Amino acid sequence: MTVFAFMGTPEFSTIILDHLEAAGFLPALLVTQPDRPYGRGRRMTPSPVALWAQERGLEVVKPQDRKDPILESALSALSPLFVITAAFGLILPANLLDLPARGSLNLHASLLPRYRGASPIQAALLSGDKETGVTLMRMDEGMDTGPILARSAMAIPDDMDAGQLNLELAHLAGRLMVDHFQAFVDGQLKEEIQDERLASITRLLRKADGEVDFSLEAQDVHNHIRAMNPWPGAFAFLQGKRYKLNRARLFEGQLPGQAGQLHILGRRMIVSCGQGALELLEIQPQSGSAMACQVCAHNFESGSVFDPCSRPGHDLV
């Protein structure tokens, strides 16, 4: 039996673990982020990976940061052949990367070297990419800069948002790891050095990134709404009220009006953009529930205009 450790935190990580478990590859140790306050009651809640481990009676450690001695102690005691990380949330120091006999691997949600860093899924959607994927790489001290061991690509449907793409990529990553697990153990995978000329780095998302800029082309606005769902959520202000824009699609046709102008066409809500127009499909008022626009369109005034974006530009790269 191959002894390895797995480091991860969100649902993305547990989906990969499900694939490994189904293939008979169960980690001897799981490492995840500490419990965090969650929900309206702000109760301390274990991460999805911690819950996954608890359900199976597996050892789990929760270091406070990457230098927490509990992390090095647990890995040293286990002496794993290698470590797999996926959406762990911490950059490992050199001494931990080199501790496993065969080093440390990472499953990253982009086709490296493009979109290194914290927000590769959102960056791909914002850029309007038609294809993305996952990369299995050997970790070094840089930010997703290590040599590539394997990749797997997928098409991005035009109506797919970040939440949906996250799940698809998690399954893709799980299959990629399972398919190459034994080959890595046997030393049969060839390493490919990343081409720095093609590299880009993404930053962490902020809540303010969700604000919609209707002065952009309709396709760019559509991509932005997709990229921000589910977090931080795309939003805009109309007549002094904040609305979350959950779903939209491109409007086929031309409408007069300035950028941000709302048109009520029967039960449809159409917004003029800098070029073209966008149909809103689901909207959510502040402190309210999400509603299908065809149900609530009659509550809005045709000709009203969404406020200009207070901070134009949503470049994550």
Reported as a single tens digit per residue, the pLDDT across 139-179 is 999 999 999 999 999 999 999 999 999 999 999 999 999 99
- The residues with which 264 forms a beta bridge, in sequence order, are 269
CB-hemisphere CA count at 13 Å for 61?
22
Q: Are residues 165 and 288 in the same domain?
A: no
pLDDT at 317: 80
- One domain, residues 238 and 253: yes
Give the chain's radius of gyration (CA, Å): 22
Does residue 313 register a pLDDT over 70?
no
For residues 98-117, give the mean pLDDT.
Answer: 97
The reply to whether 255 falls in a domain is: yes
Residue-level pLDDT at 21: 98
Task: Read off the pLDDT of residues 72-105 as tens digits, 9 standing for 90 and up.
Answer: 999 999 999 999 999 999 999 999 999 999 999 9
191-198 long-range contacts, Cβ below 8 Å, gap at least 24?
191/138, 191/147, 191/148, 191/149, 192/147, 192/148, 192/149, 193/147, 193/148, 194/112, 194/113, 194/145, 194/146, 194/147, 194/148, 195/113, 196/113, 198/113, 198/114
CA 275 to chain centre: 28
CA distances from 263 to 182, 237, 304 (A): 57, 16, 8
Looking at 118-252, list the stretches that DSSP marks H as alpha helix, in order from N- to C-terminal side.
120-126, 162-185, 218-228
Whether residue 315 lies inside any domain: the answer is: no
Question: Do 56 and 163 belong to one domain?
Answer: yes
- Whether 150 is in a domain gets the answer yes
Structural domain including 119 reads: 4-202
Last-in-domain residue among 182, 202, 222: 202
- 195 part of a folded domain: yes
225 and 182 in a common domain: no
- Considering the domain architecture, whether residues 130 and 255 belong to the same structural domain is answered as no
Please report whether residue 69 resides in a domain. Answer: yes
Average pLDDT over residues 179-201: 98
Q: State the CB neighbour count (10 A cutoff) for residue 10.
A: 18
Residues 83 and 219 in one domain: no
Query: Which CATH number do you get for residue 219?
Result: 3.10.25.10
Q: Which helix (DSSP H) or strand (DSSP E) does residue 53 occupy? A: helix 48-56
At residue 268, does pLDDT exceed 80?
yes
- Residue 316: what pLDDT? 84
Name the amino acid, one letter, at 294.
Q
Q: What is the mean pLDDT of residues 285-314?
A: 92
Q: Are 8 and 157 contained in the same domain?
A: yes
Identify whether 306 is part of a domain.
no
The domain boundary, picked from 154, 173, 202, lies at 202
Domain boundary among the residues 147, 174, 202 is at 202
Residue 197 confidence (pLDDT) above 90: yes
Whether residue 53 is found in the same domain as residue 188: yes
Q: How high does pLDDT run on average in the chain?
A: 96
Provide the number of structural domains found in the chain: 2
∠ CA(260), CA(252), CA(284), 5° rounding? 45
237 and 292, same domain (yes or no):
yes
62, 34 contact by CB (below 8 A) = yes
CATH of the domain at 57: 3.40.50.170
Examine the domain organization and report whether 77 and 193 are in the same domain.
yes
130 & 9 share domain: yes
Q: Is the pLDDT of residue 195 over 90?
A: yes
What pLDDT score was predicted for residue 135? 99
Q: Please confirm whether the linkage preceding 232 is cis (ω < 30° from 0).
A: yes
With bands split at pLDDT 50, 70 and 90, how would you rate the model's confidence at 312? low
The answer to whether residue 286 sits within a structural domain is: yes
Cα–Cα dist 119/315, whole Å: 11
Are 8 and 147 contained in the same domain?
Answer: yes
Q: Indicate whether 314 pLDDT > 90.
A: no
**Residue 39 binned pLDDT confidence (cut-offs 50, 70, 90):** confident
